[in-house]
Structure 1
Amino acid sequence: MSFCYQDLIVVFNQTFANSYNTRLERGHDEPIYLPADAKVRHHRILFAHGYFASALHEVAHWLLAGEARRQQEDYGYWYCPDGRDATQQAQFEAVEVKPQAIEWALSLCCGFAFNVSCDNLNGSVEPDRHAFKAKVREQALLYLKNGFPVRVQQLMAALSAYFQQPLPNAGDFTL
């Protein structure tokens, strides 16, 4: 199956553009979330270079952000770029577990291969991708057991229908 970021844009925007005044749009180098302002009247999730995986990841962050966070550029979150030391990498992974668990579920709804992102190619330590993926998997299984947030459920249903994929089950989250 070919994965075209335009399909993801269509599904996301059909699901949330009216109800949340938010649109998914192709960005350039760095992904960013921009709340509505005087120049652009809708909120924008901009993902990097037209990459399908980047779009899913940025959407996952939006799906987790509460109303107050969605009024701030990049949700007001801390971000330490590539080149993190061991402490910074641990902090990064701690805040990335939930969005990456959601990203994995969304990927399954599209039939798209998920790859965990440690996002630290130039860091002073080599991230343990396997251990991080295990934490992301554990969170995904918790979401399955306890229920994904409402907006996540809405998008999962829309993506599953569009891409003709079943909703994920526990057996889909394999290491």
Structure 2
Amino acid sequence: MNHRPEDLVTLFNTLFRKSRGTELVRGDDEPEYLPAGVAGVHAQVIFAHGYFASALHEISHWCIAGEQRRQLPDYGYWYCPDGRTPEQQQAFERVEIKPQALEWLFSVACGSRFHISVDNLDGGGAIDEAGFRRKVYQQACKYLDEGLPVRAGQFLDALREFYGTGPEHFRQWREQHACLAGQQPGAAHSLTTVSEAYDAIS
């Protein structure tokens, strides 16, 4: 399957440029969010170096940011760069669970590979990489069971339609990673409820 960032730009901007005053922009440097007024007429979600995965990650952050946060550059957060202390890394991982859970679901909808990002090579990596992955997976399952944030659900539907993915892809994904939830592959929960929950949020 061909994964072109230009397709994500088209899908996002068709959905949200007019309805939310926000556009996805391919950047040449680090990712950034600029609110309307700072960026121009529309707010801009800028992803890094034209990378497909970076676009999905930055869209995920935007889908979670509330209205007040979206009025501020980079949502009002100060980004602590690579080389974080254990305490800083723990805080980073805590706020990354939800956006990376959405990014993982977006990746499933695209049929693309997802990589957990602890983003701290110079600081010793993750505090507990296996535990972080488990929390991200559990949050993704919770989104499937209970519903995604509104904008995330709209974007997921657009990805599903464009890439031709459906409930069976999410059933397979959930079964493949069932060990992260303490389940055995093929467990009834992983095969039945995800289909019903997925249909309910479609």
1:39, 1:119 → 2: CA distance? 27
Q: 55-64 or 73-82: which moved more?
A: 73-82
Unaligned runs of 5+ in 1: none
Letter in 1 for 2:173: D
**% identical equivalent positions:** 50
More helix by share: 2
Q: What residue in structure 1 maps to residue 92 of structure 2?
A: 92
1:53-99 CA distances to partner (integer Å, 9 max, x unpaired)? 00000000000011111110000013211111111111000000000
The alpha-carbon distance between structure 1 residues 39 and 80, as it changes in their structure 2 partners (threshold 3 A), is: closer
Q: What residue in structure 2 maps to residue 4 of structure 1?
A: 4
How many equivalent residue pairs? 174
Q: What residue in structure 1 maps to residue 56 of structure 2?
A: 56
The answer to whether the 8 A contact 2:101-2:137 is kept is: yes
Q: What residue in structure 1 maps to residue 13 of structure 2?
A: 13
The answer to whether the 8 A contact 1:141-1:170 is kept is: no
2:136, 2:39 → 1: CA distance? 37
Q: Which has the larger radius of gyration?
A: 2
1:81, 1:64 → 2: CA distance? 21
After superposition, residues 2-151 of structure 1 pair within 5 angstroms as 2-37=2-37, 40-123=40-123, 125-127=124-126, 128-151=128-151
The answer to whether the 8 A contact 1:144-1:170 is kept is: no
2:79, 2:166 → 1: CA distance? 34
CA RMSD of aligned residues (A): 1.4
Q: 56-65 or 35-44: which moved more?
A: 35-44
Q: What residue in structure 2 maps to residue 172 of structure 1?
A: 173
1:110, 1:77 → 2: CA distance? 28
Letter in 2 for 1:29: D
1:38, 1:102 → 2: CA distance? 27
The answer to whether the 8 A contact 1:33-1:73 is kept is: yes
The alpha-carbon distance between structure 1 residues 38 and 102, as it changes in their structure 2 partners (threshold 3 A), is: closer
Q: TM-score, normalised by structure 2?
A: 0.82
Q: What residue in structure 1 maps to residue 158 of structure 2?
A: 158
Q: TM-score, normalised by structure 1?
A: 0.94
The answer to whether the 8 A contact 2:119-2:125 is kept is: no
Which structure's relative contact order is higher, taking Cα pairs within 8 Å and 6+ residues apart?
Answer: 1
1:119-157 CA distances to partner (integer Å, 9 max, x unpaired)? 11111x231332211110011111111111111110000
1:38, 1:22 → 2: CA distance? 12
